[in-house]
């Protein structure tokens, strides 16, 4: 397959797409993580940090976790965690989250589990089940019994709003070891827990993220980067997850491929397995420096588990690797092979639902031997656009082609004598380099 790619380099721009197959349960190969997670722990009414060992109170805490650098229009997540360090059970625990909604326009949509409601604008209350105590080991160093909830909001903040400041309180009626056997109420407070929205200048203009929610209009996110008018579109699955997208310059290419240097990174690794498929594809769009629409693509999928058998056989589940042009084993290749090097896939064959193959340093070179066996991981590299079935259309400057019955596939349209808009459909997550 790769010989056809090489023969066409002289007449077309090269789009190098690095995607992450969701069958791999590893972190995204997108190498992005600009959504920042921050957790703030509570204090009691006397401003004693939680847990207040050494003071006469119940030892339970409230943690509030927010996620910064999300876009101002989209999904937002806030997590609450009640932690019981005490010997006794927390009975009827509840929390209240509040914020000033002026200009922020947060609307509560749902919680997981479904224990929360919004009795008024700018307020969410949650009622937890009783949380058992840790028993006689209560004290410093104990692992608390924890109950958590995720809150999901829709956001439509105005331009002048850069952040949201949350306040949260927790109350629980504990019984058991209170003085005289009577129940008491202790309050824990978090104030403030700040969530900062992503900006739209400098590096932030080329980063976009949201919490993907299954409810409309948050179930079809459009993440956008200023660089090369790049974007990614997809339809969500059944469960919320954080999606990140970024554009940058400086891409590496598969051996023999020349790239323009634009790199897109898409992290959808939080989506539930099976979210993306031929019936729910992902669409990447970008303007590429090119003189014609004869564009190719090379996809680097997320690592999957590969069994190395001496002297030269590699085997992985499924049939995907039968279509790979190359493989990269990352930092832990089979002993005798080089870390972070792209190899050509040779002699791939499918049997019993698994694919066996060998590797070489050239497209038609001899299979390499290695000295170590066992389980490794590797990223499939596939050249896209060198087969007629991988070119689709029609597409225009304003509209992508319909998703193909069998991804991946791409379509290009000239915007000028030096720029081509490229649409790329696939059922995977990761990086795209032009």
User: Does one domain contain both 330 and 213?
Assistant: yes
d(CA 419, CA 422) in angstroms, rounded, equals 10
Domain range for 319 is 1-33+200-434
d(CA 84, CA 96) in angstroms, rounded, equals 17
User: Does one domain contain both 266 and 406?
Assistant: yes
User: Does one domain contain both 25 and 158?
Assistant: no
Residues 6+ apart with CB under 8 A from 202: none
Tens of pLDDT, residues 311-320: 999 999 998 8
Say what the pLDDT of residue 127 is: 98
User: Does one domain contain both 188 and 222?
Assistant: no
Say what the pLDDT of residue 251 is: 65
Which of these three, 177, 196, 215, is where a domain ends? 196
Say what the pLDDT of residue 163 is: 96
pLDDT at 206 over 90: yes
Which of these three, 181, 196, 211, is where a domain ends? 196
Tens of pLDDT, residues 90-100: 999 999 999 99
User: Does one domain contain both 186 and 268?
Assistant: no
More confident residue, 345 or 298: 345
Mean pLDDT value of segment 54-59: 82
- Strands 419-426 and 282-289 turn out to be antiparallel
Say what the pLDDT of residue 397 is: 97
d(CA 287, CA 412) in angstroms, rounded, equals 9
Say what the pLDDT of residue 12 is: 38
pLDDT at 27 over 50: no
Say what the pLDDT of residue 201 is: 83
Residues of the chain above pLDDT 90, percent: 67
Say what the pLDDT of residue 391 is: 94
User: Does one domain contain both 160 and 226?
Assistant: no
Report residue 20's pLDDT band, with 50, 70 and 90 as the boundaries.
very low
User: Does one domain contain both 290 and 156?
Assistant: no
Say what the pLDDT of residue 298 is: 75
Indicate the range of 73-87, 213-227, 417-431 predicted with least confidence: 417-431
Say what the pLDDT of residue 4 is: 34
User: Does one domain contain both 236 and 264?
Assistant: yes
Report residue 11's pLDDT band, with 50, 70 and 90 as the boundaries.
very low
Which of these three, 138, 171, 196, is where a domain ends? 196
Mean pLDDT value of segment 348-369: 95
Say what the pLDDT of residue 264 is: 82
More confident residue, 270 or 250: 270
Residue matched to tokens 């290695």: 370
User: Does one domain contain both 237 and 148?
Assistant: no
In three-state secondary structure terms, 228 is helix
User: Does one domain contain both 225 and 191?
Assistant: no
Please, what is the average pLDDT of the chain? Answer: 87
Report residue 278's pLDDT band, with 50, 70 and 90 as the boundaries.
very high
For residue 17, which of 236, 286, 397 has the smallest C-alpha distance? 286
Mean pLDDT value of segment 389-394: 93
For the chain, what is the domain count? 2
Mean pLDDT value of segment 211-220: 95
Indicate the range of 172-181, 259-268, 296-305 predicted with least confidence: 172-181
Mean pLDDT value of segment 51-55: 85
pLDDT at 179 over 60: no
d(CA 58, CA 50) in angstroms, rounded, equals 10
User: Does one domain contain both 46 and 73?
Assistant: yes
Say what the pLDDT of residue 307 is: 97
Mean pLDDT value of segment 368-381: 93
Residue 247 is encoded by which pair of tokens?
A: 């554009």
Mean pLDDT value of segment 185-213: 91
Cis ω for the linkage preceding 113 (within 30 of 0): yes
The string over 381-391, giving b where at least 16 C-beta atoms fall within 10 Å of a residue's C-beta and e elsewhere, is: bbbbbbeeebb
Say what the pLDDT of residue 174 is: 53
pLDDT at 252 over 70: no
d(CA 192, CA 90) in angstroms, rounded, equals 24
Say what the pLDDT of residue 6 is: 31
Say what the pLDDT of residue 185 is: 52
d(CA 245, CA 241) in angstroms, rounded, equals 13
Look up residue 279 and give its DSSP letter: T
User: Does one domain contain both 163 and 132?
Assistant: yes
Indicate the range of 28-37, 82-91, 142-151, 316-325 predicted with least confidence: 28-37
d(CA 336, CA 312) in angstroms, rounded, equals 10
For the domain that residue 54 is a member of, what is the CATH number? 2.60.40.290
Residues of the chain above pLDDT 70, percent: 89
């Amino acid at each position: 397959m790769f010989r056809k790619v090489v023969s066409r380099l002289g007449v077309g721009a090269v789009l190098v797409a690095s995607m992450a197959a969701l069958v791999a349960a590893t972190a995204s190969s997108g190498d992005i993580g600009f959504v920042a997670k921050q957790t703030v722990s509570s204090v009691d009414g006397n401003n004693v940090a939680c847990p207040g060992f050494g003071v006469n109170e119940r030892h339970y805490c409230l943690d509030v976790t927010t996620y910064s650098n999300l876009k101002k229009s989209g999904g937002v997540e806030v997590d609450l965690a009640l932690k019981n360090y005490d010997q006794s059970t927390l009975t009827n625990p509840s929390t209240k989250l509040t914020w000033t909604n002026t200009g922020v326009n947060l609307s509560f949509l749902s919680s997981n589990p479904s224990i929360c409601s919004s009795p008024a604008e700018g307020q969410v209350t949650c009622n937890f089940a009783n949380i058992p105590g840790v028993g006689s080991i209560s004290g410093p160093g104990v692992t608390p019994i924890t109950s958590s909830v995720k809150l999901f909001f829709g956001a439509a903040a105005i331009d002048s709003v850069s952040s949201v400041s949350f306040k949260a309180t927790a109350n629980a009626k504990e019984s058991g070891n209170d003085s005289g056997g009577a129940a008491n109420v202790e309050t824990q407070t978090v104030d403030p827990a700040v969530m900062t929205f992503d900006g739209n200048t400098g590096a932030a203009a080329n980063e976009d993220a949201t919490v993907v929610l299954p409810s409309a209009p948050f179930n079809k996110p459009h993440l956008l980067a200023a660089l090369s008018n790049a974007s990614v579109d997809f339809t969500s699955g059944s469960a919320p997850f954080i999606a990140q997208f970024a554009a940058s310059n400086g891409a590496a290419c598969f051996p023999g491929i020349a790239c323009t240097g634009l790199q897109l990174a898409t992290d959808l690794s939080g989506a539930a397995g099976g979210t993306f498929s031929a019936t729910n594809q992902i669409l990447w769009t970008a303007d590429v420096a090119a003189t014609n629409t004869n564009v190719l693509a090379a996809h680097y999928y997320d690592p999957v588990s590969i069994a190395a058998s001496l002297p030269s056989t590699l085997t992985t589940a499924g049939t995907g690797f039968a279509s790979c042009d190359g493989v990269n084993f990352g930092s832990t290749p089979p002993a005798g092979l080089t870390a972070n090097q792209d190899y050509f896939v040779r002699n791939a064959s499918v049997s019993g639902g698994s694919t066996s193959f060998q590797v070489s340093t050239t497209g038609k070179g001899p299979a390499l031997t290695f000295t170590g066996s066992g389980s490794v991981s590797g990223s499939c590299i596939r050249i896209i656009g060198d087969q007629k079935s991988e070119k689709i259309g029609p597409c225009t400057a304003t509209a992508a082609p319909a998703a193909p019955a069998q991804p991946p596939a791409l379509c290009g349209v000239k915007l000028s004598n030096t720029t081509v808009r490229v649409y790329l459909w696939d059922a995977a997550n990761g990086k795209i380099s032009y």
